[in-house]
Structure 1
């Protein structure tokens, strides 16, 4: 379940980051309210995930999901440049996130076993 919390927190980071753009520096009321609400909920889920996932891994994955998601949304929906190099580096970020998840599964399992004894 902590990985699900982390995934949802990262996806919410994408949405609240977009909200920052549309709130125009918190000068437009409803986009600001939605942005702050999603930001708080995102960090709440992130903090729940960190109860079982090491902080370095959790933070790297959280920000990685937010970075990749925001870059992809920018390229697909906001007309940002999508060149080969940018796509390559986004794929590199994704491979890092997946790699951290694969490596951390062993750490997390060991942590659960230790706390069970």
Structure 2
């Protein structure tokens, strides 16, 4: 369950990071409200993931999903430049997140941290 929480938190991080840009420094009310909500919900899922996963793994996966996803959103939808080097490093981030998942021991069903 910890992995599900951290993945949901990371996906929501993509939303609030993008929202920070769209809110233009919290000067636009609707994007600002949505961003604040996504921050709260994202950290709720992230904090729950740390009850079941090691903090280093949870944080690396959370930020990796957020960084890679936000960079992709920027390139695909916000007219940020696309380059082979950017795509290569985003791929490296994604493979790093997958590697962390694969290298983690089986999640214990005790509900506590490792």
TM-score by length of structure 2 reads 0.91
Higher share in helix: 1
Q: 1:38-117, aligned counterparts within 5 Å?
A: 38-104=38-104, 106=105, 108-109=106-107, 111-112=108-109
Root-mean-square deviation (CA, aligned residues, Å) is 1.4
If asked which structure has higher relative contact order (CA below 8 Å, sep 6+), I would say 2
Cα offset, 1:22, TM superposition? 1.3
TM-score by length of structure 1 reads 0.89
Q: In the alignment, is residue 25 of structure 1 matched against residue 29 of structure 2?
A: no
The structure 1 segments of at least 4 consecutive aligned residues displaced by more than 6 Å after TM superposition are: none
Cα offset, 1:77, TM superposition? 0.9
Cα offset, 1:112, TM superposition? 4.6
Which structure 2 segments of 5+ residues have no match?
A: none
SS at 1:3 equivalent: helix
Indicate the structure (1 or 2) with the bigger Cα radius of gyration.
1
Cα offset, 1:82, TM superposition? 1.2
Q: What is the CA deviation profile of residues 42-78 of structure 1, one whole-angstrom value per residue up to 9, with x for unaligned ones?
A: 0000000000100000000000000000011111111
Which structure 1 segments of 5+ residues have no match?
A: none
